[in-house]
Every structure is written in structure tokens, then in C-alpha cells.
Amino acid sequence: MSNKTTSKANIRTKTKAESVTPRVALVLQGGGALGAYQAGVYHAMHENGLTPDWVVGTSIGAINAAIIAGNERDLRLSRLKEFWELVGHGDLMDMSKVSDSVRHFNTWWTTNDVTARGVPGFFAPRSPNPFVLGMPVAPEQASFYDTTPLAETLARLVDFKHLNSPGAMRLTVSAMKVACGSLVNFDSRDQQIGVEHIMASGALPPGFAPVRVDGELYWDGGLYSNTPLEVVLDDESKTDVDGNTLCVMVDLWSANGPEPATLDQITNRQKDVTFASRSERHIENYLRMYQLRRAAKALYDKLPPALRSKSDLKEFAGLNDNSTIHIVRLRYGGHDWNMPSKDINFSRGSIEWRWEQGYEDAMQARQRILANGETFGNSDAGLVVHELVMPPVS
């Protein structure tokens, strides 16, 4: 590891006249206990002075994002560590000193204990719970677990006054309306963000109950789209962004995998495919719109001034085709023995390993970027994906 720090100046975008620092966005998927990998990625960014201007998250990604955006810089990493240390489940033994088969058994044991007793500071079984017996309950109680402990943890670890103050890091979290199935993005740029918005983004049924926000019930945004990349792409296409955007996207699930042969492997593959990134589709849609915007702007610029001034054409004057989005993609590479319950594997050893892996992957990505001389400059393509594939790990 290296404690050497660098600033955003190391990845400045060169223009003809000057250097412009790109806007930095951090995009975090949902994935339960796998979210410790995201924390490790942020750890490396924090050490190297790459502070996000904007964090976008869903589910566990929303919790990590709220802790990052909802604290002053000198508290962000310590508050993030406090959360993951709090939710970590004690292991039967030191997982770094035993064989892989023993680690597998330890993970099985801790996961079953989490299922039975919950996670301190996160969720606890409802007792008594008529919902388990199929009886009707209030919608806010329609779940196996009570997430009141998480609400208390967020209230303690996230400074919502700071989060909602002018000039604070922008935060966007996604949730899905239960009544109609539409995705809603709660954005600190447009509204005051509170505990309920973060809770709504992580309310995955039937484990967790929906959360009511302004009279509407919401479930986990991952049910609609588990990778909120489209939030960044839509923002870029709707606004006249001055300069480029560097988007660090952290994937926790893999759409690619071997053919399953056991029930566990099938269930694991199903969950991976369900929650894996749909970023390729979002990127294709963005590129189509980008090309259309460029063509429309080019045609508008060729019109005589008299036609340009017409009210129905004025919106074309604001079209921007000079900025580029650079997506640096980091993928969690842990196989977790093909366990379908890997997202509730809060084993402390597993959490520590995931955090360390996220840190190492991000540091390797930084070294590759520097070695390749990447400047994240303008591109006629409008969007460039830096697919930094890491070696497989177990």
C-alpha cells in the first residue's frame, strides 16, 4: 500500500487554452455485505485526493454514499470504517490462518446466524411477526426484519445538516415506488435528504419493509435498476456541463459466469444476473442520444440568424457536444464459493477481505491509468469506458 497522496491535478483534462479539472462522480451498486468492496475503493480514492463531486448510490451503495457525502472530509473514512466494523459478524476463528474449506464453513455459520439474529446496527428479526404467518400487517411492517437499528446508525454516522448545506458533495439515491413500479431519484441538489430517503433506497423485500416518503411507499431501487449509471448519463445529456466527467463505477455482481450445476450455483447465477450492471444498455442509449445532439447542433449552427431566433428552435442553442464522460469501471472479483447468500455474508473476515480487495483494485487502476498516460480528455465519441479488468480471485 502507499500513503502517497496526489490531487485531481494528476488527471486534468487538457484543452487548447487551459487545463480543466473533470467533475468526479462515484456510482455505487446495491449488494448488501458486498458493499465493503465499495468502501475499499473509496478508501483508495480518499488517500489519493480524488474527492468525488457527486456520489450516486442504490441500496448498500446509498448507505455508503450517504456516509461519504454526509461528512466533512476528515471524518468520511473513519465513519465508513465505523459502519462496516459495526455490521461485521464475529468469526469462529482467524480466517487468515485457516484453510479455504474452514473459511467456507465459517462463512456458512455466520450467514446462518445473521439470518436468525440479524446484524447489530442494521436489522433485527421482528418478534412477534404475523407477517411470517401470512397475516396482514401495516405496509411499513410487512417484512421479516425491522430496520430501526439502521435508522439509528444513519442518524449517528451521517451529518444531514452538512449533507444538505450549500456547497456540500452532491448525493443521489434511487428508490422504487411500490404503487406504480417507477424509479425515483432523491437528489440533494433538488431537495433536503433525510434518513428516510436512504432507508427507502435499501428497503429490499421481503426482508425489509417499504419506507414511506412524503406519503408514498418505496422499495429498494435495485428492483428497478441496480446500477444507477443512467443518473449520471441523464444529467450529462440534460445540462450544459462545462468540462468532462470522470465516473468511477463500482460493480458488485457479474453478468458473466460458468454454467451452474448445483442448486446453490443456479441460485447464485440467478442473483448475479438479476442484479448485475445494465450499464452497456445505458451506454448504448447515451451514445445514440449524443450523436443525435451533435447532429442537431451542427444543423442549428448552419441556420441563418433569422431562423435561429425562432422560439421553437432556441432550445438547440443550448445543446452541448463538447464534453466527454470517462467511465472507469471496477468489478468485485470474489467468487464467494458460489454462495447465493453472499450478500448477507457479514463475516468480519469477509468484510475485511472485500475492503482490502476494493482498495487494492482501485490502487492498481490508478497505477495503470498513470502508466498509460491517461488524461481523460475530450473524445469525439462522447463517452469512453476504461474497462480495468482485475485478475480473478477466490
Give residue 242's pLDDT.
Answer: 58
Give residue 338's pLDDT.
Answer: 87
Inter-axis angle of helices 148-157 and 60-69, nearest 10: 20
DSSP letter at 158 equals -
Question: Which residue, chain included where needed, has cell 472530509?
Answer: 73
Distance CA 167, CA 137 (A): 42
Distance CA 366, CA 48 (A): 9
Regarding beta strands 183-187 and 170-177, do their DSSP bridges make them parallel or antiparallel, or are they unpaired?
antiparallel
Cell of 78: 473513519
Of 348, 353, 347, 268, nearest to 108 by C-alpha is: 347
What lies within 8 Å, CB to CB, of 78 at 6+ separation is none
Question: Which residue, chain included where needed, has cell 430496520?
Answer: 147
Give residue 317's pLDDT.
Answer: 63
Distance CA 126, CA 117 (A): 10
- pLDDT values of the chain reduced to their tens digit, one per residue, 394 residues: 333 333 333 333 333 333 457 899 999 999 999 999 999 999 999 999 999 999 999 999 999 999 999 999 999 999 999 999 999 999 998 888 899 999 999 999 999 999 999 999 999 999 999 999 999 999 999 999 999 999 999 999 999 999 999 999 999 999 999 999 999 999 999 999 999 999 999 999 999 999 999 999 999 999 999 989 999 998 876 554 557 899 999 999 998 889 999 999 999 999 999 998 887 888 888 888 888 877 877 777 788 877 777 766 666 666 666 788 999 999 999 989 889 999 999 999 999 999 999 999 999 999 988 887 777 877 878 888 888 655 444 4
Cell of 143: 417484512
Phi, psi at 128, each rounded to 5°? -70, 165
Please check whether residue 268 is in contact with residue 260, taking contact to mean a CB–CB distance below 8 angstroms.
yes
Please check whether residue 272 is in contact with residue 257, taking contact to mean a CB–CB distance below 8 angstroms.
yes
Distance CA 28, CA 306 (A): 47
C-alpha triplet 284, 53, 231: angle, nearest 5°: 30
C-alpha triplet 232, 226, 267: angle, nearest 5°: 160
Please check whether residue 200 is in contact with residue 175, taking contact to mean a CB–CB distance below 8 angstroms.
yes
Tell me which long-range contacts 178-181 makes (C-beta under 8 A, separation of at least 24): 178/139, 178/210, 178/216, 178/217, 178/218, 178/219, 179/216, 179/217, 181/224
Give residue 318's pLDDT.
Answer: 60
Of 361, 363, 336, 332, nearest to 349 by C-alpha is: 336
Distance CA 268, CA 258 (A): 11
CA neighbours closer than 13 Å in the CB half-sphere of residue 263: 0
Of 200, 208, 235, nearest to 323 by C-alpha is: 235
Question: Which residue, chain included where needed, has cell 458460489?
Answer: 338
Of 208, 275, 261, nearest to 28 by C-alpha is: 275
Distance CA 103, CA 239 (A): 49
C-alpha triplet 154, 201, 230: angle, nearest 5°: 125
Distance CA 153, CA 121 (A): 6
Of 161, 224, 216, 166, nearest to 193 by C-alpha is: 161
Distance CA 146, CA 123 (A): 5
Question: Which residue, chain included where needed, has cell 448477507?
Answer: 344
Distance CA 276, CA 251 (A): 7
